[in-house]
Chains A and B, each alone.
Chain A
Amino acid sequence: MPLLDIQNLSVAFQTRSGVFSAVTDIHLTLDKGEVLGVVGESGSGKSVTMLAMMGLLPWNAQVTADRFSFDDQDMLSMPEKARRRLTGNDIAMIFQEPTTSLNPSFTIGFQIIEALKIHEGGSRRQRRERAIELLDKVGIPAPAKRLGDYPHQLSGGMNQRVMIAMAIACNPRLLIADEPTTALDVTIQAQILDLLLELQQERGMAMILITHDMGVVAEAAERVAVMYAGQLVETGTAGDVFHHPRHPYTGALLNALPERHPGQGRLPTIPGVVPGIEDRPQGCLFNPRCPHVQEDCRQTRPALESDHSTGSSHDVFKKVRCYHPLVAQEQGEVAP
């Protein structure tokens, strides 16, 4: 039984000019201790999907799913209060902007201890000691002294470490990291990523790592989900997706990796932009930008279907949403 099991999840936003579905038809499963990388361009619905899992979407969002369970508990029918016992405790999340994600009016000590207080109990002293331990764990020097600091007194990287300490405070079984390094200096990015992976290994937590960076996914994730315009277009093991991409969008993303074009000045790009939630094309959502587009792609939208034609065929997670998936020779174009 997987830790997280999501079947056919959709999120729609009620706006003044109507109802828009931001995310549709999401299928994800995640086992204990597994790392899933989620990639896709800006606006593809990665954050919306994760916020739906956390129950953190704004009031104008409607979440529906055929199945949405964590640890075999149904998250959708669960009462608010029971759900809050899970969030921050069994499922935790860290965000893109560490500096604005911490409350400027409270010390970091207060903010870490607060999480411990509501989920774990214990005495005031125990909580304090635990907070110091956590700060030490995430690599903050002189942790006891930092407890009284306010977020604006720390750098962005340090703040992200604080966010991580807060997220792992109650030993979550699933950690969602939504672009945890995007807002940081390049030199700090690798450190934070290493820290996350180290903690993940050590505690055996499952992790969903969202990023724009295919390279990061290749390094960190066991399985990969590629999103485009609010849909999953391809899922599979990291090895399969990287070496045998089936969806043209995945192929194009990989083709844009600098590592694949050593010595070349300009990198290939994907022409066009992701359609917004109001201007999605008929048929396959990627068809206006797809180099392999054919007539049927413009008519009806393909479904996400299991695909065993290439790669390790035993992988039940290998799925693609395409009428004309890339075949070996086209994949060869993008492989290194």
Chain B
Amino acid sequence: MLTFLLRKLALLVPTFLGVTIITFALVHLIPGDPVAIMAGERGIDPERHAQLLHELGLDRPIWQQYFDFLWRLLHGDLGRSLVTHNSVFDEFLALFPATLELSICAMVFALVLGIPLGVLAGVKRGSIIDHTVMGTALTGYSMPIFWWGLLLIIFFSGVLGWTPVSGRLSSMFWIETPTGFMLIDTLLSKEPGAFVDAIRHLILPSIVLGTIPLAVIARMTRSSILEVLGEDYIRTARAKGLAPFRVIAVHALRNAMIPVTTVIGLQVGVLFAGAILTETIFSWPGVGKWLIDSVSRRDYPSLQGGILLIATLVMLVNLTVDLLYGLINPRIRHNR
């Protein structure tokens, strides 16, 4: 197990380097430069433009800029935003709880619905339930996030007026945010109604962000359950006289979850990517919205730092999933 962990950790190093190169290259491939953007419509005279670029260090050869970036990175410095002049890391840290809270809620939504629906569809294979679940999953999977988000807003916020349209909390509440997690902070604030208000703000974005993972998890659970139900040990479990529910919930599900865990891990990356769009639709003050804003301002350090931090998180999550995989699958645990 230890060598397995070390091997995985060693693999992280080249992956991480690759990510820095890609991030850096992508960010600098965006046309336009920060100075021109800041100057806006009025334009700027070429001399002043060159001078400002020089001050920002953006006139040097691109590879030099990269090594400079890498060098500072190795010293734990992600640089400062070109716009706000705050440390990129601090800005990220301040916004990340909002994104994390949204992502967790979306994932919980996807798991709580996706696994039981997948099991149900698998157990009742070929039935109306199966076709309905799988049809809906396919639709959900192919639905563009923007379109889906707008539909939900129009219906639930516009027509029914059940949920707020944007933000994390109504402006009538003013609470301290020590943790950055609105659900926790509103509870701590003891402000009546604030917690419920925070939940109402979370519902639509969580559904929108959780839909794709939900579809993927449901499909994966279904096919995995189908495969497992044909196994000999399921017959053995039934031969013991176990009730059908116990056969499925204990004997089948444990084995069926093994491939599903991997998929769940991979969905974390999908989730962060989806968060960027979702946060933009719902004006959710998180990392995603901040990244989009940084793109439009060509705020290179914020972009590079933000993407790099997210990529690192995704890598760490995948590593954790790999380890968890070993925990729920005894065959792997002993072989390593």
Q: Which of B240, B255, B329, B334 contacts A114 (CB 8 A)?
A: B240
- Given the known A-B contacts A119-B241, A166-B240, are A106 and B254 also in contact in the complex, defined by CB atoms under 8 Å? yes
Contact of A54 with B233 in the complex, beta carbons under 8 Å: no
Contact of B235 with A153 in the complex, beta carbons under 8 Å: no
* Chain B residues, Cβ within 8 Å of A103: 233, 236-237, 251, 254-255
* Chain A residues, Cβ within 8 Å of B237: 103
A150 to B254, CA, bound (A): 14
A104 interface residue (CB < 8 Å to B): yes
- Given the known A-B contacts A86-B241, A88-B241, A118-B241, are A152 and B231 also in contact in the complex, defined by CB atoms under 8 Å? no
Contact of B233 with A84 in the complex, beta carbons under 8 Å: no
B331 interface residue (CB < 8 Å to A): yes
- Given the known A-B contacts A103-B255, A104-B255, A150-B331, are A87 and B239 also in contact in the complex, defined by CB atoms under 8 Å? yes
A237 to B255, CA, bound (A): 45
Question: Nearest CB to that of A153 among chain B residues?
Answer: B334
Chain B residues 280-327 with CB under 8 Å of chain A are: none
- What is the minimal beta-carbon distance from A274 to any residue of chain B, in angstroms? 23
Contact of B330 with A152 in the complex, beta carbons under 8 Å: yes
A119 to B240, CA, bound (A): 9
* Chain A residues, Cβ within 8 Å of B254: 103, 105-106
- B residues apposed to A, CB below 8 Å: 231-233, 235-243, 251, 254-255, 258, 328-331, 334
- What is the minimal beta-carbon distance from A174 to any residue of chain B, in angstroms? 12
* Chain B residues, Cβ within 8 Å of A163: 236
Contact of A104 with B331 in the complex, beta carbons under 8 Å: yes
Contact of A152 with B334 in the complex, beta carbons under 8 Å: yes
A150 to B333, CA, bound (A): 11
- A residues apposed to B, CB below 8 Å: 54, 56, 84-89, 92-93, 95, 97, 100-106, 114-115, 118-119, 150, 152-153, 163, 166
A124 to B330, CA, bound (A): 24
- Given the known A-B contacts A105-B329, A150-B334, A152-B334, are A92 and B255 also in contact in the complex, defined by CB atoms under 8 Å? no
* Chain B residues, Cβ within 8 Å of A89: 241
Q: Which of A92, A93, A100, A114 contacts B242 (CB 8 A)?
A: A114
A–B pairs, 19, beta carbons within 8 Å? A84-B242, A84-B243, A86-B241, A87-B240, A88-B241, A88-B242, A93-B239, A100-B231, A101-B233, A101-B236, A103-B237, A103-B251, A105-B255, A105-B330, A114-B242, A115-B240, A118-B240, A118-B241, A152-B330
A163 to B232, CA, bound (A): 12
- What is the minimal beta-carbon distance from B47 to any residue of chain A, in angstroms? 71
Contact of A95 with B232 in the complex, beta carbons under 8 Å: yes
Contact of A97 with B239 in the complex, beta carbons under 8 Å: no
A104 to B328, CA, bound (A): 11
A81 to B242, CA, bound (A): 10
Contact of B240 with A88 in the complex, beta carbons under 8 Å: yes
* Chain A residues, Cβ within 8 Å of B329: 105
- What is the minimal beta-carbon distance from B178 to any residue of chain A, in angstroms? 42
* Chain A residues, Cβ within 8 Å of B330: 104-105, 150, 152
- Given the known A-B contacts A103-B255, A104-B331, A150-B334, are A56 and B239 also in contact in the complex, defined by CB atoms under 8 Å? yes
Contact of A56 with B238 in the complex, beta carbons under 8 Å: yes
A153 to B333, CA, bound (A): 11
Q: Which of B243, B328, B334 contacts A105 (CB 8 A)?
A: B328
Given pairs A56-B235, A92-B239, A152-B330, 19 additional interface contacts (CB within 8 A): A54-B239, A56-B239, A84-B242, A84-B243, A87-B239, A88-B242, A93-B239, A95-B236, A100-B233, A101-B236, A103-B236, A103-B255, A104-B330, A105-B254, A105-B258, A105-B330, A118-B240, A118-B242, A166-B240
Contact of B240 with A101 in the complex, beta carbons under 8 Å: no
* Chain A residues, Cβ within 8 Å of B251: 103, 106
A86, A97, A101 pick with most chain B CB within 10 angstroms:
A101
A93 to B254, CA, bound (A): 23
Contact of A102 with B255 in the complex, beta carbons under 8 Å: no
A102 to B239, CA, bound (A): 12
Contact of A84 with B255 in the complex, beta carbons under 8 Å: no
A260 to B267, CA, bound (A): 65
A84 to B240, CA, bound (A): 8
